[in-house]
Amino acid sequence: MIELRTPAEIEQMRPAGRFVAEVLTTLRDQTKVGTNLLDIDRHAHEMIRAAGAQSCYIDYHPSFGASPFGKVICTSVNDAVLHGLPHDYVLRDGDLVSLDFAVSIDGWVADSAVSFVVGTPRDEDLRLIDTTQRALAAAIAAATTDHRIGDISAAIAGVSHAGGYAINTDFGGHGVGHVMHGDPHIPNDGKPGRGYPLRPGLVIAIEPWLLATTDELVTDPDGWTLRSVDGSRGSHSEHTIAITAEGPIVLTDRSFLGVD
Ligand code: MG
């Protein structure tokens, strides 16, 4: 069921969005060559406790998961792109890291993801990350009340295909509210002018993710971490946005922190 939020409810969602933006910015700043993925999760957990927030991940146990996730953040490195289960791994020079983080504050969820390189970046990784970020920006720009979900999907696909990347539509964006994954589903490819109309009060997470040279995934033995089938690297960009008559509000926007 698709639920629409009142302007007052959208205001109530802002603290969760701001907190997710702050945590991702802090973790990105502190994640370096030599950082252990388990320390990223530990630090995220400390910030959740200090803020009195609730993790959306730690007890998360969907049908495709082998067991409850057990951690508070997804850390996907290099050929891992989604649902990376933090494990004992020390980041190396040039590693491409994706962090995906969601919490609930006062009963409202926010969900966001960011990709970056630690140490010396490879040009092809920077291009992959930049294309994913531009796909998200184009999708947000298309999230206006004269459009439909297909316009968001087509915006993502347009930027991605122009960059030469294929799209896997197994995982995409979703409604956000009192729970992390609600209706509607937001596919990362689709036809403009199709699908559910973007009504004021619709709150969704938009999350393009790309793999450099394939659109096929394999699951790690941990039952969670999704990797490219060919070992090529992945990138993931996600924001939670509210659609309003005045245009989209990016609830997890990091610009107030002076970062992108
Ligand atoms: Mg997410």
Query: Tell me: the pLDDT tens digits for 195-237?
Result: 999 999 999 999 999 999 999 999 999 999 999 999 999 999 9
pLDDT value for 32: 98
The pLDDT of 48-76, averaged and rounded, is: 91
Establish if 1 belongs to a structural domain: no
Q: Ligand 1 mean position to 201 CA, how many Å?
A: 20
Mean pLDDT estimate for the chain? 96
Establish if 77 belongs to a structural domain: yes
For residue 236, the cross-strand partners are 209
Q: Ligand 1 mean position to 113 CA, how many Å?
A: 6
Q: Ligand 1 mean position to 122 CA, how many Å?
A: 25
Q: Ligand 1 mean position to 101 CA, how many Å?
A: 6
With a cut of 90, say whether residue 178 has pLDDT above it.
yes
With a cut of 90, say whether residue 66 has pLDDT above it.
no
Q: What is the CATH number of the domain that holds 166?
A: 3.90.230.10
Q: Ligand 1 mean position to 126 CA, how many Å?
A: 21
Provide the residue range defining the domain that includes 48. Answer: 7-255
Q: Ligand 1 mean position to 33 CA, how many Å?
A: 24
> 136: pLDDT confidence band, cut at 50, 70 and 90?
very high
Q: Ligand 1 mean position to 121 CA, how many Å?
A: 24
Q: Ligand 1 mean position to 99 CA, how many Å?
A: 9
Q: Ligand 1 mean position to 108 CA, how many Å?
A: 14
pLDDT value for 157: 98
Establish if 138 belongs to a structural domain: yes
Q: Ligand 1 mean position to 204 CA, how many Å?
A: 11
Establish if 2 belongs to a structural domain: no
Q: Ligand 1 mean position to 55 CA, how many Å?
A: 12
Q: Ligand 1 mean position to 190 CA, how many Å?
A: 20
Q: Ligand 1 mean position to 179 CA, how many Å?
A: 12
With a cut of 80, say whether residue 260 has pLDDT above it.
no
**How many domains are there within the chain?**
1
Q: Ligand 1 mean position to 240 CA, how many Å?
A: 9
> 106: pLDDT confidence band, cut at 50, 70 and 90?
very high
Q: What is the 3-state secondary structure (H, E, C) of the chain?
A: CCCCCCHHHHHHHHHHHHHHHHHHHHHHHHCCCCCEHHHHHHHHHHHHHHHCCEECCCCCCCCCCCCCCCCCCEEEECCEEECCCCCCCECCCCCEEEEEEEEEECCEEEEEEEEEECCCCCHHHHHHHHHHHHHHHHHHHCCCCCCEHHHHHHHHHHHHHHCCCCCCCCCCEEECCCCCCEEEEECCCCCCCCCCECCCCCEEEECCEEECCCCCEEECCCCCCEEECCCCCEEECEEEEECCCCCCEECCCCHHHCCC
Establish if 260 belongs to a structural domain: no
Q: Ligand 1 mean position to 100 CA, how many Å?
A: 5
Q: Ligand 1 mean position to 8 CA, how many Å?
A: 24
